[in-house]
């Protein structure tokens, strides 16, 4: 039995399987989710359920957050019974959501002033990697806090790496997701072009999957296109958000500017579908 008491905030597509990994690793886990019903699945698997972020951090030593965006982080820290309302010291808060480097720097400072630590620790990988503990975790923040949390990261990912000071994990993640956007749009454009010349998606995907361009992402998303399955594993609205964050950080290069535009245009119609629904926009 692992003894570090873990609090987990956010039980969406990623947070649900990630918190289950820690229950499976025999950590004592308490969860909190804004919509209460999502916590019931975790309760049935052995987690305790907290009524607020404040209660969660009071009860636990390390608190993980896996929620949508900057607004969610702000609400969870500053809301009624939020994390900052707790009178606690020596806690480590690990924000695994993809958010701006700026919000991480700001909350890192506020946590420090209260005698707590904040790490930004976004992840590469999607639901499948979350379910199997195969994520790639990039971390910004205090080295000693990172070392304290490292054994827990090892249950969630195949690689965990401290990149530098607060916010640097978020910056690395925005760079990776820019590349992810290129892959999604590039695959879609290649398939649409081939289809215009009467080459079916199935034939193209067999060629690509056996070529030097093959990758786990291309394979999974190619299958999704063939099966017309656009249910969100990674919602298009999240990559549109990430590209906005990257642009705010100064991303301004030829391909990235087109990528940004395509995903912003697609978001109103396809935001709640998977990233690969960009295929519909390209069509």
Which residues are catalytically annotated? Answer: 173
- Asked whether the beta carbons of 113 and 82 are under 8 A apart, the reply is no
Residues 201-220 that bind ligand NAP (CB under 6 A): none
Q: Which is nearer to ligand NAP, 73 or 111 (CB)?
A: 73
Assign 282 to helix, strand or coil.
helix
105 binds ligand NAP (CB under 6 A): no
Q: Which residue is nearest to ligand NAP (CB)?
A: 12
75 binds ligand NAP (CB under 6 A): yes
Which residue pairs from 207-212 have beta carbons closer than 8 angstroms and sit at least 24 positions apart in sequence? none
Helix (H) or strand (E) holding 67: none
Q: Which residues sit opposite 95 in a β-bridge?
A: 65, 120
- What is the spatial distance between Cα 40 and Cα 45, in angstroms, rounded to a whole number? 9
Q: Which is nearer to ligand NAP, 60 or 126 (CB)?
A: 126
- Asked whether the beta carbons of 256 and 178 are under 8 A apart, the reply is yes
Q: What phi, psi does 114 have (nearest 5°)?
A: -90, 0
- What is the spatial distance between Cα 5 and Cα 100, in angstroms, rounded to a whole number? 28
To ligand NAP, the closest distance from the beta carbon of 171 in angstroms equals 15
Question: Residue 239's closest CA among 223, 227, 221?
Answer: 221
11 binds ligand NAP (CB under 6 A): yes
Tell which one of 21, 98, 108, 160 touches ligand NAP (CB under 6 A). 98
Please tell me the total number of residues recorded for the chain in this structure. 283
12 binds ligand NAP (CB under 6 A): yes
107 binds ligand NAP (CB under 6 A): no
Residues 47-66 that bind ligand NAP (CB under 6 A): 66
Tell which one of 20, 97, 166, 201 touches ligand NAP (CB under 6 A). 97
Number of residues that bind ligand NAP (CB under 6 A): 27
Contact positions vs ligand NAP (CB under 6 A): 10-15, 33-35, 38, 66-69, 71-72, 75-76, 97-98, 123, 126-127, 233-235, 238
């Amino acid at each position: 039995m692992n003894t570090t008491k873990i609090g987990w905030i956010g039980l969406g597509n990623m947070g649900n399987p990630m918190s289950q990994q820690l229950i499976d690793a025999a950590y004592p886990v308490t969860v909190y989710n804004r919509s209460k019903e999502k916590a019931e699945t975790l309760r049935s698997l052995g987690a305790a359920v907290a009524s607020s972020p404040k209660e969660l951090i009071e009860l636990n030593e390390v608190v993980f957050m896996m929620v949508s965006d900057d607004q969610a982080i702000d609400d969870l820290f500053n809301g009624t019974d939020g994390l900052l309302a707790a009178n606690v010291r020596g806690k480590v808060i690990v924000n695994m959501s993809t958010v701006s480097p700026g919000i991480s720097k700001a909350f890192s400072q506020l946590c420090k002033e209260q005698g707590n630590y904040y790490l930004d620790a976004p992840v590469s990988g999607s639901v499948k990697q979350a379910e199997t503990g195969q994520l790639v975790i990039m971390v910004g923040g205090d080295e000693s806090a990172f070392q304290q949390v490292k054994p827990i990261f090892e249950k969630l990912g195949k690689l965990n790496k401290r990149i530098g000071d607060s916010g640097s994990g978020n910056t690395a993640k925005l760079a990776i997701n820019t590349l992810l956007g290129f892959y999604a749009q590039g695959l879609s454009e290649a398939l649409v072009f081939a289809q215009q010349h009467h080459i079916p998606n199935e034939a193209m995907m067999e060629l690509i999957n056996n070529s030097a361009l093959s990758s786990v992402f291309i394979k999974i998303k190619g299958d999704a296109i063939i099966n017309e399955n656009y249910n969100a594993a990674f919602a298009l609205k999240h990559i549109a958000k990430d590209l906005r964050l990257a642009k705010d950080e100064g991303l301004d290069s030829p391909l990235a500017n087109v990528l940004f535009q395509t995903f912003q245009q697609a978001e109103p119609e396809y935001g709640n579908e998977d990233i690969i629904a960009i295929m519909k926009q390209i069509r």
